[in-house]
Structure 1
């Protein structure tokens, strides 16, 4: 059974005559008859009663009719959907992001993407960077934005470096400092974010390199919860600068740069399967990233 046979069946059923259906499909009548015969052989049923005035559906033909209609309708819709996706007039873009990227960086990127491609839907999943990598590996998402993680099947394309700053209550003794050192930070109750995350591993490595043991007073798995604790004066923390813009502007939190020779940055990269072709939506999204970050992102293939 193929689509051509189902199409022939529907046209004969609609017109009740082989020659009318053949004209509609731009086929010769023998070609049309051959399609119907092949379909009847494949299904092992007779689909039409032949009469002097034309043809009419048999009982098996009547049973097949709604299924054939649904199949061809679904195929037509699939073609329209694929065409719309090619023209970026429909379809969806599946994105995986690290939690902090999804909360504080991705919204402005998607805002720009939506201005250019309003008909393309975005399906967003968040997780730790290691989880985002697995989403891309397993093709659960088409593209990921996360830390610089490596995998043999994945392209890791550096996108930007984000500064990490000390975050304090506005009344904290460090709040008005121009800079602080890692050693200053080690003296204060420190709230750390998500021990299982790559961000925690980065902060931990910085402390190890400086041969200091931070005074950890609290561990949380949420940046938002971390900020609320700092607002209550329960400690200080090291966080990506994008994550605190609102609270700093509203004077609910203060940010202090880390001394130049000890400064910490968090890299964010595009994670994408190392295999072409990429969908038009993915390519358009990468174009937006190129424009926003003024970087030359090169894909294979």
Structure 2
């Protein structure tokens, strides 16, 4: 109500006439007069004097006027900011991302998001999946982008499936064959990364189920290191598709299909507190993520590579 009173005060101060101010404010003159009186009671001073030429500011009114102008403008700016937040065109978006998502998938998505919503301020925090879950629970981040995780206070909103694929250096014998049998992999040095990850467990289980236990291995602690080892012909590796797409298209790595091996993947999700509705920038981000078309990935590939990726059901990524 105080905001309306100050609007009336400023209108009368600018026009110097009660009837014209009431008309501009779409109010009756008695209503306008009552609001001015309430404001004067609130500030404890008379703000106007009535003259034969209309309404004139008192010394107190002139002193109060710039404060009223700032207050009204601040209120209007606050309303604009809230509207922008509701519409996703302004406000702040705070994301948490696991290393794989933050390095490979998120930059492409944020490029689109920032282009569509340039007024939104974006912050990204990184950490392992358990850390991202904790950040989401404590509302340090609005969304946590990581592998699917369960918690009673959290809902997981699907983003994409990240498949594990075999990569070798372009001069490798598997590249020329185009495929390999699982038993042949045991003859190679295998590069493993991050032995705490679900990908590591899936790969190890695959070899155990095939009865292949005596393996020559090299272990590193991150995906980029594993890629570099493969590029330098130190071994072969199963890596997430999101991590190798650009290296394959650049000709630094080759992707090889493995016969008689079921697809290995994990679902990447956006974690959100159940009791916090998705609105404003959060809703806009989720909508944009879900709208990412498969054709965008195909456009980054040569026709031959696109056919290869499609045959392996790899066109399922929003980067």
TM-score (norm 1): 0.72
Match of 1:46 in 2: 45
- Counterpart secondary structure, 1:105: helix
Alignment of 1:1-301 (within 5 A): 2-43=2-43, 45-50=44-49, 52=51, 53=53, 54-59=55-60, 61-83=61-83, 90-91=89-90, 94=93, 95-106=95-106, 117=116, 121=120, 123=122, 125=124, 127=126, 128-172=128-172, 175-176=175-176, 178-181=179-182, 184=185, 188=189, 190-193=191-194, 200-204=197-201, 206-207=203-204, 210=208, 212=213, 217-221=218-222, 223-261=223-261, 263-275=263-275, 277-279=277-279, 282=283, 285-286=286-287, 289=290, 292=293
Q: CA deviation at 1:149?
A: 0.7
1:174-208 deviations in Å (ceiling 9; x for gaps): 55561353894596252414x56xxx243135426
Return the offset for 1:135.
Answer: 4.4
C-alpha RMSD over aligned residues: 4.0
CA distance in 2, matches of 1:67, 1:131: 46
Query: Whole-Å Cα distance in 2 between the matches of residues 120 and 10 of structure 1?
Result: 30
CA contact (8 A) 2:188 2:236 kept: no
Contact 1:97–1:124 (8 Å) recurs in 2: no
- Cα–Cα, structure 1 residues 239 and 275, in superposed 2: closer, same or farther, change >3 Å? same
Cα deviation for residue 253 of structure 1 reads 1.5
CA distance in 2, matches of 1:165, 1:182: 16
Q: By how many angstroms is 1:68 displaced?
A: 2.2
Question: How far apart are 1:236 and its partner, in Å?
Answer: 3.8
Residues 289 and 258 of structure 1: CA distance in aligned 2, closer, same or farther (over 3 Å):
same
Structure 1: runs of 5 or more not aligned: 294-301
Structure 1 segments, 4+ long, off by >6 Å, are 111-115
- The answer as to whether partners of 1:162 and 1:266 remain within 8 angstroms in 2 is yes
Relative to structure 1, the CA distance from residue 83 to residue 263 in structure 2 (aligned partners, 3 Å threshold; closer, same or farther) is: closer
Question: Which segments of 5 or more consecutive residues in structure 2 lack a partner in the other structure?
Answer: 295-319
SS at match of 2:170: coil
Cα 1:56–1:279, aligned 2, differ >3 Å: closer, same or farther?
same
More divergent stretch after superposition (6-15 vs 224-233): 224-233
Q: How far did 1:3 drift? A: 1.0
CA distances 1:73-130 after superposition (whole Å, capped 9, x unpaired) = 2332343444456566x23673544333344334555677789x56675736252333
Give the 3-state SS of the residue equivalent to 2:228 in structure 1.
helix
Q: Following TM superposition, by how much is the alpha carbon of 1:11 offset from its aligned partner in structure 2, in angstroms?
A: 1.8
Change (3 A) 1:39 1:248: same
